[in-house]
Amino acid sequence: MIKAGIIGATGYAGSELVRILMGHREAEIVWYGSRSYIDKRYHEVYQNMFRIVDDVCRDDDLEELAEQADVIFTATPQGYLAGLLTEEILKRVKIVDLSADYRIKDVAVYEKWYGIEHKSPQFIPEAVYGLCELNRNQITASTRLVANPGCYTTCSILTAYPLVKEGLIDVDTLIVDAKSGTSGAGRGAKVPNLFCEVNENIKAYGVAGHRHTPEIEEQLGYAADREVTINFTPHLVPMNRGILVTEYAKLKRAADGALPTYEEIRAAYDKYYAREKFVRVLDKGVCPETKWVEGSNYVDINFVIDERTGRVILMGALDNLVKGAAGQAVQNMNLLFGLEESQGLELVPCFP
Q: Which helix (H) or strand (E) holds 162?
A: helix 151-165
Closest CA to 297 of 80, 19, 28: 19
Q: CA-to-CA distance for 86 and 190, rounded, in angstroms?
A: 32
| Chain-centre distance for alpha carbon 326 | 8
| Close Cβ partners of 352 (under 8 Å, ≥ 6 residues apart) | 291
Give the SS3 label for residue 250: strand
Q: Tell me whether residue 196 is one of the annotated catalytic residues.
A: no
Considering the candidates 151, 155, 196, 287, report the single residue annotated as catalytic. Answer: 151
CB-CB neighbours of 39 under 10 Å = 9
Q: Which helix (H) or strand (E) holds 204?
A: strand 203-204
DSSP secondary structure string for all residues of 59-125:
---HHHHHHH-SEEEE---TTHHHHH--HHHHHH-EEEE-SSTTT-S-HHHHHHHH-S--S-GGGTT
| Identity of the amino acid at 270 | D
Cis bond before residue 352 (omega within 30° of 0)? yes
DSSP secondary structure string for all residues of 271-337:
HHHTT-SSEEEPPTTPPP-GGGTTTSS-EEEEEEEETTTTEEEEEEEE-TTIIIIIHHHHHHHHHHT
DSSP secondary structure string for all residues of 215-235:
HHHHHHHHHHTS----EEEEE
Q: CA-to-CA distance for 297 and 279, rounded, in angstroms?
A: 9
Q: CA-to-CA distance for 255 and 32, rounded, in angstroms?
A: 59
Give the SS3 label for residue 153: helix
Q: CA-to-CA distance for 146 and 286, rounded, in angstroms?
A: 34
Residues with catalytic roles: 151
